[in-house]
């Protein structure tokens, strides 16, 4: 069992974060979840449910710990917390900029900062298009610091029919990046 910190921001693409949390929980990994206030709003809008109803879907799992973005006393705010990896899905450009600048004024950004300083895997599923030179510079800065920049670009070789199929493949690729395999992963040529 791995201990994975998951952040969900206010960028469009809440389905990615939702499928990531679901997949990790079903595979028996412990999820330490932090959702920004804007993330809650966008998730409610995009998934057509309330944030509370969405969270309640996972109430049967004993391996989910939920934290407020204001809780800088949460375990993952410390380098002594043994997280195996952190994934921000989706990651807004505002969060990207804060992380790139070392601004750790909320739990999500502090946990990302800890991941970088402790040299733990950090994956940012950045969501924006087109990208400005500022976005690209922030991504390059973080990539040079060891962060994996993972835009959720859909794969087409698996011939997805629905957006959910495409998102599941993308999430499976993210999980593969941190050493977790799922049955949702469709491998090219296999």
73-84: per-residue pLDDT in tens? 999 999 999 999
User: Can you tell me the distance from the alpha carbon of 174 to that of 83, in angstroms, rounded to the nearest whole number?
Assistant: 16
User: Which pLDDT does position 159 carry in this prediction?
Assistant: 85
Position 20 in a domain: yes
- Positive or negative, the Cα torsion across 89, 130, 114, 85? positive
User: Which pLDDT does position 87 carry in this prediction?
Assistant: 98
Position 163 in a domain: no
Tally Cβ neighbours within 10 Å of residue 138: 22
Position 62 in a domain: yes
Burial of 128 (C-beta count, 10 Å sphere; 0-12/13-18/19+): middle
Position 28 in a domain: yes
Residue 31 domain boundaries? 3-154
Position 22 in a domain: yes
Position 187 in a domain: no
Secondary structure (3-state) at 89: strand
Cβ 172 vs Cβ 22: under 8 Å: no
Cβ 39 vs Cβ 68: under 8 Å: no
Q: How many domains does the chain have?
A: 1
Say which CATH number the domain at 12 has: 3.40.50.1950
End-to-end C-alpha distance for the chain, whole angstroms:
27
pTM of structure: 0.95
Residuewise pLDDT in 10s, the chain (190 residues): 999 999 999 999 999 999 999 999 999 999 999 999 999 999 999 999 999 999 999 999 999 999 999 999 999 999 999 999 999 999 999 999 999 999 999 999 999 999 999 999 999 999 999 999 999 999 999 999 999 999 999 888 888 899 999 999 999 999 999 999 877 666 665 5
Ramachandran angles phi, psi of 34, nearest 5°: -135, 125
Position 80 in a domain: yes
Position 160 in a domain: no
């Amino acid at each position: 069992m791995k201990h994975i910190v998951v952040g969900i921001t206010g960028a469009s693409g809440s389905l990615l974060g939702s499928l990531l949390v679901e997949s990790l929980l079903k595979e028996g990994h412990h999820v330490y979840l932090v959702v920004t206030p804007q993330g809650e709003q966008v998730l409610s809008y995009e998934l057509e449910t309330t944030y509370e109803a969405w969270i309640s879907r996972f109430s049967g799992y004993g391996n989910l710990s939920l934290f407020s973005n204001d809780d800088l006393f949460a375990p993952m705010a410390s380098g002594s917390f043994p997280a195996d990896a952190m994934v921000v899905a989706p990651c807004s450009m505002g969060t990207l900029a804060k992380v790139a600048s070392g601004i750790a004024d909320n739990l999500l950004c502090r946990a990302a900062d800890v991941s970088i300083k402790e040299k733990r895997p950090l994956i940012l599923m950045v969501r924006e298009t087109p990208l400005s030179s500022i976005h690209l510079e922030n991504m390059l800065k973080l990539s040079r610091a060891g962060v994996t920049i993972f835009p959720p670009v859909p794969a087409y070789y698996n011939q997805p029919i629905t957006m959910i199929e495409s998102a599941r493949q993308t999430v499976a690729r993210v999980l593969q990046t941190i050493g977790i395999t799922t049955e949702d992963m469709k491998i090219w040529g296999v």
